[in-house]
Amino acid sequence: MDEEVDITTDEGDRASSTSYVDEAGSDRVIIFDTTLRDGEQAAGTSLTPREKLAIACQLERLGVDVIEAGFPISSPGDFEAVQLIAREVRQPVICGLAHCRPAAIDESWRAVQDAAHPRIHVFLSASDIQLAHMLKKSRQEALAMAREMVARAKSYTHDIEFSPMDATRAEPGFLYQLLEAVIDAGAVTVNIADTVGYSTVNEFGNLIRSIVKNVPNIHKACLSVHCHDDLGLAVANSLEAVRLGARQVECTINGIGERAGNAALEEVVMALRTRSDAFGLKTHINTTQLYKTSRMVSDLTGFLVQSNKAIIGANAFRHQSGIHQDGMVKESTTYEIMDPRSVGIPASSLVLGKLSGRHAFRERLAELGFTLGNDALSHAFEAFKDLADKKREIADRDLISLVSEELRQETQVYKLDHVDVSCGDHSLHSAAVRLIGPDGETLADAALGTGPVDAVYKVINRIIGIPNTLVEFSINANTEGFDAIGEVLIRIESDGGLYTGRGASTDIVVASAKAYMNALNRLILSRQHAGVKESTEEPAYRVHEAS
């Protein structure tokens, strides 16, 4: 059975393909990944440019055709990330989003212009409800804007995508007109967005059919779809669209995204592959990279993958009932429609130990998709040696925790320097914490709490002093075994914004402290970007010197 599993991809085809438009109508589905743009719009997510680059490098390994790296005009951080990815990630098309404003188009081009394959993605509301309430524009005005902005984008580069936002609630006649106009103006991909996840599978299929029938120049563009999951139909709608002629699917790793999320890349790709008998279509995805990519995205965004998640959930290939186990022992295809190895679920991920050197460490990280600069590598290597003293066997998951921790250092305004707790079932729970402040000053304090984590958080709050509410706290072991690294995920809320923090350590109280600091640092950075002035009379960051 093992030898029979086909886990190959069509890398050869990929290298030789030059035009995605030429492939519209072929049996090839273009995978457009928007994890770093729509995925990052999920409430509570904020990735640093370096974290985004790490994900983009892994997406390249995965073999996605297009990476939507961000929305350059939306913030300086987004611009920086898109530009960094455009310069570093050479194989896929790198796409920058822009709304229909000259400055947004220009900024998007500035961010992607150094890419080997740049794309500008222009979008505009197409439904009356959005035109009236958000843009306050008539259909005719919208048509003119779209035409003009696509032409502007086209003056920069050939590869232009246009999305009519909320297309599934747009008046069909107007939608056809809009699509025809933007294709005439130079759009080579048109993307039908079910922005609010409203469409049923039947309706979405009919819309695709009617677009193919009623837009006279549709054959000049690649027809794409972008489905949201508000009714849990994003993947089903995307698959129905490709069955009826769409040749690009926009999706995200783990299905993360605005509200209920986007179509999950791993589900779309594995459905096309596993049911090639039904679809007769292929992608260029190297499916053995799916699991690794999913873990990386989960680690860096803080969105945990539920155990029963299709394709990459912890239980996706576990068989519990006796009857199923019996079938599996006799012949795995009795209960398994996919081989776990085809999605890269590791049989064993034990790789490094105490005696492993810096070279082996760096090589393994590169295989996992992480490339660190010299300083970051040295820190991470020190942390690895430290961990190897506590833990005999270092698995890939440990390395990912460790490097994620290293990448998180970038967002630190305040650094956690020391945590000390006293706890037990009959004692008072107390904590002493020392932080290093933005100017290198030492800030220390101590407090009592209802438990050690509560005590630590109280101390940190007393030192930093920015009001916030803890809305989520979870703790997980990253591998099996009692010596596993504890990974803490928290979300805090402040002034209506959600901030995610993650921390990893073999000591769960330390991991909790790191996670809280990570979330607070993101909150502080966001206040700084918004120009919030911290009070100087009653400092927001009160200094409590250790006695």
Positions touching ligand KIV (CB under 6 A) are 38, 123, 163, 165, 191, 193, 195, 226, 228
With CB under 5 to 8 Å by kind, the binding choice for 165 among ligand KIV, Zn ion, none is: ligand KIV
Site size toward Zn ion, by CB under 5 A: 1
- Minimum CB distance to Zn ion smaller for 225 or for 464: 225
Least spacing, CB of residue 47 vs Zn ion, in Å: 17
Residue 401 contacts which entry, ligand KIV, Zn ion, none (Cβ below 5-8 A, type-dependent): none
Closer to ligand KIV by CB, 200 or 494: give it. Answer: 200
- Tokens 């805090």 belong to 492
The answer to whether 250 contacts Zn ion (rule: CB under 5 A) is no
Cβ of residue 110: shortest distance to ligand KIV, in angstroms?
19
370 binds, among ligand KIV, Zn ion, none (CB under 5 to 8 A by kind): none
Half-sphere exposure of 174 (CA within 13 A, CB side): 22
Comparing CB distances to Zn ion, the nearer of 38 and 405 is 38
- Nearer to ligand KIV (CB atom), residue 259 or residue 358: 259
Which DSSP category does 125 fall into? Answer: E
Pick from 394, 305, 273: nearest CA to 7: 273
For residue 123, the partner it binds in ligand KIV, Zn ion, none, with Cβ less than 5 to 8 A by kind, is ligand KIV
97 vs 183 by CB, closer to Zn ion: 97
Q: Read off the tokens for 368.
A: 């996992």
Nearer to ligand KIV, 24 or 193 (CB): 193
User: Least distance to ligand KIV from the beta carbon of 133, Å?
Assistant: 15
If one asks whether residue 38 binds Zn ion (CB under 5 A), the answer comes out as: yes
Q: Tell me how far, at minimum, the Cβ of 262 lies from ligand KIV, in Å.
A: 8
Closest CB to Zn ion among residues 39, 302: 39
H-helix or E-strand spanning residue 47: none
Q: How does 253-269 read in b/e, with b if 16+ C-beta sit within 10 Å?
A: bbbbbbeebbbbbbbbb
Q: How many Cα atoms within 13 Å fall on the side-chain side of residue 518?
A: 31
Least distance CB 77 / Zn ion (angstroms): 20
Is residue 121 within 8 A of residue 128, CB to CB? The reply is no
The DSSP result for 6-30, as a single string, is -----HHHHHH---TGGGTTSSBPE
> What DSSP line would sit under 73-120, residue for residue?
GG-HHHHHHHHHHHHH--SSEEEEEEESSHHHHHHHHHHHTTSSSEEE
Smallest gap from Cβ 189 to ligand KIV, in A, equals 11
Half-sphere exposure of 255 (CA within 13 A, CB side): 27
- Least distance between ligand KIV and beta carbon 99 (Å): 8
Q: Shortest approach of ligand KIV to residue 211 CB, angstroms?
A: 16
The residue among 258 and 396 lying less far from ligand KIV, judged by its C-beta, is 258
Sign of CA dihedral 402, 404, 407, 413: negative
Instruction: Give me the DSSP letters along 194-240.
Output: ETTS---HHHHHHHHHHHHHH-TTGGGSEEEEEEB-TTS-HHHHHHH
Q: Which residues bind to Zn ion, rule: CB under 5 A?
A: 38
